Structure 1
Amino acid sequence: MDNEYLLKKWLNNELTDTEKELFSKQNDFAFNQKIIDSAKHFKASSHTTIKDFEAFRKDYNKQKTLKLNTEWYKPYLRIAAILVITLGVYFSFFYNQTINVKTQIGQKITVELPDYSQVELNALSSIKYKEKNWDKNRTLNLIGEAYFKVAKGKTFDVVTTDGIVTVVGTEFNVKNRENYFEVHCFEGIVKIKSDTIIRQLIAGNMLKIYKGQFSQSQTSLLVPDWSVNKSSFENIELNDVFMELERQYNIQITTENINLNRLFTGGFIHDNLKNALLSITKPLDLSYKWLSKNSIVIYEVKN
């Protein structure tokens, strides 16, 4: 007979005399009997007496009133939480963000920095800096060419791929093009560090590292030529001259049978493309023709 069946009937006191005799002979009968005997001596612990309905109602209303008195400030807590999160996002994203300023082809703009220093950007140039703690860390990155008028204050660093220019308060121009690094000091003192080269320039001096060649000379300019719509070159390869012409005018230049490594000394203006082309081509016995609205081919004149 199934043991589980007998156990169930035994617990319900439903066993017949024959079933009782059979169940008492099972191996676990003594264990089961001990459990039943122990349960007879079990007493429930003391418990709280339930209050009458009126007392219960008073306690309930009291708790409800307390809850209502504390609910009023929850909307304000939500508003405060939103305000804290919003301010956190503002200060972490906007206040700490990096400022990027870029110019397009033929565009020149003047940027005022947080300390009222001014940066005039040449065409296709860019600067990048952080506004936070600017007075304590006046550092910006330059790609291209820019003319700086730095307000007095802590050290001012212009970081380029070819070197770092450091000043306190002065006026200077930095040119950072491919294989072309040039610094003109117009006022004050400029410190330059490029790889192993460390130089200090005073007003009227310039430094140039072009195609890996270092040179230092004097200049009589009071401001950079490009800031008054001119581009000037001294012993610069023709290819770089053409690239500068493309930056100042929205044109594409191709060449035919021209030595682009040929050195050029001269310049061109930024407000008249025809005169600019003649200023470059005529001294070198070159000529040009239009291929389309914005495309020019420059070629050598055959005698």
Structure 2
Amino acid sequence: MDKEYLIQKWLNEALTDDEKTAFDKLDDAELNQLIVENARHFKASHFDNLKDFNIFKSQYELSKNKVKKFNKLAPFLRIAGVLVVSLGIYFTFFANHHTHIETLASQKATIELPDHSIVELNALSSIEYNDKNWKNNRVLTLDGEAYFKVEQGKTFDVNTKIGVVTVVGTAFNVKQRNNYFEVKCFEGIVKVVSDSIERQLVAGDIFQILEGKFYEGKVLSNSPKWQQNISEFYAIPVKEVLSELERQYNIEVIIKNIDANRLFTGGFPNDNLENALIAITQPMNMTYELSSSKLVIIHGSKH
């Protein structure tokens, strides 16, 4: 019997006994039955009769091809399903008690930790810690810059890619940006370890590693200037200064005819871009142009 004729009568539930026997012998009869059985589990918002059998035929052939492709991929999908479930279990039971907080460009944030210690994040920075076991293990990971006001208690560790800062209760600032690592102690005592270099800082001490070189210094203020919307630098390569400018204003800076390693001492405001550009360029005999709201070009002096 004609296959299309049998399918059309089957859809209308008008098969005779002989026709049903012939239909059951079709190579895709099981697929047809599966479509009907699965369709019974769905509710449609509206129903349209198929007035043109050719439309149904094209839809049917398309669905048949999709099912065949699916069957070829089934073993791989089963493996992927096991992996997804396994990862889901891992993140549900082992990773969901980790807290991750980050700031965007030109954004700052203040976070209170479970022990009431305070962390102030500078722009484009992040911290991550385990809040479930914080009482017994006060450890967090920092990427970027943050000021810490730590409550007395067990040892408090700040891990960065370049070094580890350990305290009991104190106030300090940690900055870790690419090849720039700096710790300023404002209160109490801070222990800093980076590779083979280990120092104990007291209030006013600075620990700094810049492009692999270690420096020590003194800070005269009692808190980091960026809390007052001022980025401050002492003998820092101008490329690091301009990188901070990009973070604070969410812009791109292009330099032309400038020695990027030339040292800069000074600061710039974080709430007025033109004043910030003047504060950076004028002392270094440079000029700038605002190419757009998001692009700044800085030129070196012409000789």
Return the TM-score normalized by structure 1.
0.68
2:177 match: 177
1:107 match: 107
2:214 match: 214
Give the match's secondary structure for 2:240: helix
Shift of 1:96: 4.9
Query: What pairs with 1:51-200 in structure 2 (closer than 5 Å)?
Result: 93=93, 96-200=96-200
Amino acid at match of 2:236: I
Give the match's secondary structure for 2:275: helix
Shift of 1:92: 5.3
What percentage of residue pairs aligned between the two structures are identical? 55
Give the match's secondary structure for 2:105: coil
Amino acid at match of 1:266: G
Q: Aligned partners of 1:175 and 1:208: how far apart in 2?
A: 9
Number of positions where the alignment pairs a residue of Structure 1 with one of Structure 2: 215
Which digits, 9 at most, give the CA deviation of each residue in 1:209-247, with x for residues without a partner? 111111112211100111111111111111111100000
Shift of 1:300: 2.0
**Are 1:95 and 1:131, in contact at CA under 8 Å, matched by a contact in 2?**
no
Amino acid at match of 1:255: I
Give the match's secondary structure for 1:277: helix
2:279 match: 279
Query: What pairs with 1:283-298 in structure 2 (closer than 5 Å)?
Result: 283-298=283-298
1:262 match: 262
1:241 match: 241
Amino acid at match of 1:260: A
Which digits, 9 at most, give the CA deviation of each residue in 1:250-301, with x for residues without a partner? 2111111111111111110111111100001011111111212211111123
Which digits, 9 at most, give the CA deviation of each residue in 1:186-223, with x for residues without a partner? 11110111111111001111111111111112211100
What residue ranges of structure 2 are gaps of 5+ in the alignment? 1-88
Q: CA RMSD in A?
A: 1.8
Q: Aligned partners of 1:121 and 1:262: how far apart in 2?
A: 28
What residue ranges of structure 1 are gaps of 5+ in the alignment? 1-88
Query: What pairs with 1:14-29 in structure 2 (closer than 5 Å)?
Result: none
Whichever of the two has the greater Rg, that structure is: 1
Give the match's secondary structure for 1:161: coil
Q: Aligned partners of 1:183 and 1:111: how far apart in 2?
A: 19
2:68 match: none
Return the TM-score normalized by structure 2.
0.68
Give the match's secondary structure for 2:246: helix
